Amino acid sequence: MLAIIDYGGGNMGSLLAALTRRGIDFSIVTDPTALAQADAAILPGDGAFEATMTALRTRGLDQPIAAMLARNQPFLGICVGMQVLFESSTEHGGATGFGFFPGVVERFGSDAPRVPHMGWNALEIVSTHPVLDNIDSGEYVYFLHSYRVPVGEGTIAASIHGERFAAVVARGNVIATQFHPEKSQHTGGKILDGFLRIVSAYTPPIQSHG
């Protein structure tokens, strides 16, 4: 079961439409029990890092997310849904994330031509990964953000907005994009298709009952 995590703060309309066009079976999940039963999940995000983490913790969704990450279940974080997978953010005085990827989310510096970064930018493929199959450097995707993660461990695609930053990160079946694939037309669709192939190929581990 593919869960779309609804924590009350993500704009999910475009994502749900993109998945529906692909004929994908999914469930919108708002409670931790249902999320714990999912084989895969997507965490869409709009807004602030701290507000997102607070909403997830208040609803009890943080623990099943952490468990999914630890089990390397297919997981896609989008925009703020990517940022919260890192250790922390300096936004609004600082907040702690899941720490799945090393690094700190910080506001664009003085090299950025404008903040927020809003619009289409080209991808630079840094490392191979199944989610990037059929994606070439130079393809454009749609961004809307004021905070970013520097290129580092886990970065498989980068982009430039005055400075080079992580556009796609991945470790195993856990993938995240700083841009919005559901709003990135053909290239974004290929990213979603790559993730859905990973979901289809995933075999849940056999649970031991003693």
Q: How confident is the model at residue 11 (pLDDT cuts 50, 70, 90)?
A: confident
Q: What is the pTM of this model?
A: 0.95
Q: Say if residue 205's pLDDT is above 70.
A: yes
Report the half-sphere exposure of 19 (CA within 13 A, side-chain side).
20
Domains and CATH numbers, the chain: 2-201 (3.40.50.880)
Torsion, CA 5, CA 42, CA 108, CA 95, rounded to 10 = 40
pLDDT digits (tens, 9 = 90+) for 18-38: 999 999 999 999 999 999 999
Give the residues across from 150 on adjacent strands: 165
Summary mean pLDDT of the chain: 94
């669709």: which residue's tokens? Answer: 189
**The pLDDT of residue 132 is above 60:** yes
More confident residue, 181 or 8: 181
pLDDT at residue 208 above 60?
A: no
Residue 204 to residues 76, 201, 207, Cα–Cα distance (Å): 17, 10, 9
**Active-site annotation, residues:** 79, 180, 182
CA distances 37 to 2, 5, 32, 160, Å, are: 10, 13, 9, 38
For residue 145, which of 175, 122, 172, 116 has the smallest C-alpha distance?
Answer: 116
Calculate the alpha carbon distances from 111 to 58, 120, 161 in Å: 37, 18, 8
Section 77-85 average pLDDT? 97
Predicted local distance difference test score (pLDDT) of residue 28: 96
**Per residue in 174-187, pLDDT tens?**
999 999 999 999 99
pLDDT of residue 47: 84
HEC secondary structure over 137-150: CCCEEEEEECEECE
Comparing C-alpha atoms, which of 105, 103, 81 is closest to residue 92? 105
Q: What is the pLDDT of residue 145?
A: 96
Name the percent of the chain lying above pLDDT 90.
Answer: 90
The alpha-helical segments, DSSP class H, found in the chain are: 13-21, 32-36, 49-58, 62-70, 80-83, 185-201
Closest CA to 180 of 3, 54, 7, 13: 13
Contacts (Cβ under 8 Å, ≥6 apart) of 99: 86, 87
Q: What is the pLDDT of residues 56-76, one digit of tens each?
A: 999 999 999 999 999 999 999
